[in-house]
Amino acid sequence: MFEGKYGKYCIVDGILFVDYKEDLIFTLKVAKRIVQERMGFQHNKEYPVCCKLSGRIDSQSEARHYLAQEGALFIKALAFHATSPVTIRLTEFYIQTLNHQIPIRVFKDRNQAIQFLKPYSQRSIN
């Protein structure tokens, strides 16, 4: 496990879990730091990623575009786990409006998010 400035990272059964800190605002600076920390933790290996969004999450346009492009490096598939209705709606909007290079979905249930990512896991390699 690794704790960065904006979240915690761990790998379980070939899936990278990222638990973002509560009430996070994704600016371009924050997005770049998150990607830097995640890629350092991954050591240039691709993983499916499950991101837990806690509390109220907001993002700036530049950050969303950065995360959809450069931020998708070394990610095989991406599942967002969120329980806040506002966060779910904003994340669904983000998914629909940006051009993503990887499979991406948002889930209310963590187990459903994991099931979505399992086909992309690298358990046999780890």
Other C-beta atoms closer than 10 Å to the C-beta of 105 total 15
Domains of the chain and any CATH numbers: 2-120 (3.30.750.24)
Q: Specify the pairing of strand 58-59 against strand 75-82.
A: unpaired
**Burial class of residue 43 in the structure, from the number of CB atoms within 10 Å of its CB (0-12 exposed, 13-18 middle, 19+ buried):** exposed
pLDDT of residue 122: 63
**CA–CA separation, 14 and 113 (whole Å):** 14
pLDDT of residue 76: 94
List per-residue pLDDT tens for the chain, 126 residues long.
899 899 999 999 999 999 998 888 899 999 999 999 999 999 989 999 999 988 767 788 899 889 888 888 999 999 999 988 888 888 888 888 877 778 999 999 999 999 999 999 964 344
pTM for the full predicted model: 0.88
